[in-house]
Amino acid sequence: MIKFSKMKNGHLKDTERGRSAEYQYLELGKEILENGIDQKDRGTGVVTRSMFGVRHEYDLSKNFPLLTSKRVYWNGVIAELYWFLSGQTNIKYLVDRNVHIWDDYPYKIYLEKTLRQAQGKKSKTKMTKDEFIEKIKEDFKFAKKWGELPRIYGEMWRKWPTRKKGKTIDQVQWVIDEVRADPNAHNLIVNSWNPEYLYGMAERKDASRFPICHNMYQISNRHGKLDLILYQRSCDYFLGVPFNIASYALLCVILAKILKLKPGRFIHVYGDIHIYENHFDQVREQLKRKPNPFPKVSIKGKVSSLKDFRPEMVVLEDYNPHPPIKAELTVAGGYYDGKKKNGRRKS
């Protein structure tokens, strides 16, 4: 039976020397189940149990925080991160590599748009999700039309849109250049939160149809070690967070390699961290498991710029997880086109 420590002021402390840093994640799950607040998503009615304002820390100089209490989808972590870092916004890159973590969003948009187009016309038989994804894989023109997810992380990181026509900002490259020019810089921030395209702040035609959850990160050179801190405003504890931990820890390792620094700490700050009601049983099952030692991750070969990096350069060693625990992805949040109330659109 796992022995959990107490949570205090939204922070979890490891009091036992040598304990795995994975316990802070498991202890948080127990705390959410026992003391979290139940909330309902206004667009879908989905219920979550949540806490707000928690901070975790992982020392990347010792090991790599790929959770072991259940197997984390490592190939998906690498593929998605490269998708972001290369500035891509079409899911075809992921689909071609059998990574389907973003499939639900474009399929949902496809269903909504084809339903509107069919109103008052002869309705065509809609595709199933599997048929939709196969079409994305096989038909380039279809993928170009329906696989695009603009204003998502890859675009915001590498091609932030500006008012000046044709001009974009490459935030990741700027951060790399800035830390080289000023190793003590305090402004090394990459932001994905663009109000022009989000929620009720956006014009309907421009509004992003999917949530920006991990919305800002900052790096810092600490005596030759690179630290990375992520602020994540909305966090799916069971399915999303293990993936997010691995993704941003890997991002820190990659950036450290490019900058000829050693990986330091990954610091994860959670805004609203929640467990979906249909994941309660899976979390309880995971809490029964004793974590194994974290694995090691390295980047092989010469990587002196973003364009040098390739997914196959990532080496994972000594990963010994418990078996996966399956759960359905809950598609909630994002743009909500509610009815007008008191002259204002709910969003």
pLDDT at residue 96 tops 60: yes
Please give the backbone phi and psi of residue 311, each rounded to the nearest 5 degrees, phi first: -55, -35
pLDDT at residue 182 tops 50: yes
pLDDT at residue 206 tops 80: no
CATH architecture for residues 7-89+154-345: 2-Layer Sandwich (3.30)
What pLDDT is stored for residue 237 in this prediction? 98
**42-93 pLDDT per residue, tens:** 777 889 999 999 999 999 999 999 999 999 999 999 999 999 999 999 999 9
> Which residues are annotated as catalytic?
213
Task: State the DSSP string of 139-162.
Answer: -HHHHHHHSB-TTSHHHHHH-EE-
Which positions ≥6 away from 30 have C-beta within 8 Å? Answer: 4, 287
What pLDDT is stored for residue 248 in this prediction? 98
What pLDDT is stored for residue 45 in this prediction? 84
Q: Where in the chain is the domain with CATH 3.30.572.10?
A: 7-89+154-345
183-186-188 Cα angle (round to 5): 80
State the DSSP H helix or E strand holding residue 340, giving kind and residue range, or none if neither.
strand 340-341
**296-310 pLDDT per residue, tens:** 999 999 999 999 999
**Identity (one letter) of the amino acid at 195?**
P
